[in-house]
Amino acid sequence: MVFFIILMRIFLIAVMFSLPSVLVGLAAFGMKGAGIGIFSTLLGLIIVGLSSERGIAGIYLVHSNIPQGLSRSLEIALQSLNVKRVPQLVIVSETLPHALVVKSLGGHGTIFLTQGLISILNEQELGAVLLLCLARLKEKSLVFQSFCSILMIWILNFAPKSWVNLIFRERSVTSVDEEFLNPISGVGFFILFPPVNILLRLSKSRFFKQNKIVCEEQYFSATRKIAQSIHIWGSRRGQTAVNFGLIDPGSGKMLFPYT
């Protein structure tokens, strides 16, 4: 069921991105141009799917040196879940506590932990977070959600940042933003808004089943510390303070909460 849903959504995305290139190719070179447009778009989407982990890693300032204790916690988590394909563990230079799991097509997966997260959690709590990250890697929807996330980020790189902050990050309008919130930039943003909005909706679904939380006591202890650190709990029912799959299309940062 999940595979069929993802397949249909990939088809919709392929049609959405192919249509402009097909129309341009058809107008310029006829049917041959339309065929080239379809082929180039599909090839580009496949490359995006294969490089999601690398693309998202390129957004952050990361550390190559992993603390020995954290590496050991990952080893224990891998053994407890009997995971054969070892994911990459990346430390992000960011003070806010975040955790993110990304997986490319055919990849082993990458776990992103911020320095802020590592600094406020003890070994048991970090182990619980890593267990959930590894469980998240097994979910069939993760590759598709990572694919949608990197597409959203790349599209919004071309959008006026003031409009992105206003619409997606719900920031109050500052005097600096007001200068750029003009009709011309608005037209540019609202040309890019529909595909991003579609991708955001397609990447979230009640059909995408998530694994049961493991080590619940340590996990909820971790989320309490995270919530206290950022001084916010999720506004919707059942939300916690950690996300393991999607990215804020407005900033390229990890989204809260885990839903």
> Residue 12's pLDDT is what?
93
pLDDT band, very low/low/confident/very high, at 235 (cuts 50, 70, 90): very low
Which carries the bigger pLDDT value, residue 236 or residue 123? Answer: 123
- CA distances (Å), 171 to each of 11, 163, 174, 189, 202, in order? 34, 10, 9, 16, 24
Is the CB of residue 130 less than 8 Å from the CB of residue 73?
A: yes
Compute the 3-state secondary structure of the chain and give helix, strand, coil in percent, each to the nearest 5: 60, 5, 35
Banded pLDDT at 72 (limits 50, 70, 90): confident
Confidence of residue 230 (pLDDT cuts 50, 70, 90): low
Neighbours of 51 (CB within 10 A): 17
Please state the pTM of the whole predicted model: 0.78
Does 211 have pLDDT greater than 50? Answer: yes
For 109-125, how does the pLDDT look when each residue is reduced to its tens digit (9 = 90+)?
999 988 888 888 888 88
Average pLDDT over the chain, rounded to an integer: 77
Lowest-confidence pick of 146-160, 184-198, 232-246? 232-246
User: SS3 for 100?
Assistant: strand
Q: Omega before 183 cis (within 30°)?
A: no
Give yes or no for a contact between 249 and 156, defined as CB atoms under 8 angstroms apart.
Answer: yes
Give the chain's domains with CATH numbers: 1-50 (no CATH), 60-259 (3.30.2010.10)
- Residue 144 pLDDT class (50, 70, 90 cuts): very high
Q: Is the pLDDT of residue 239 over 60?
A: no
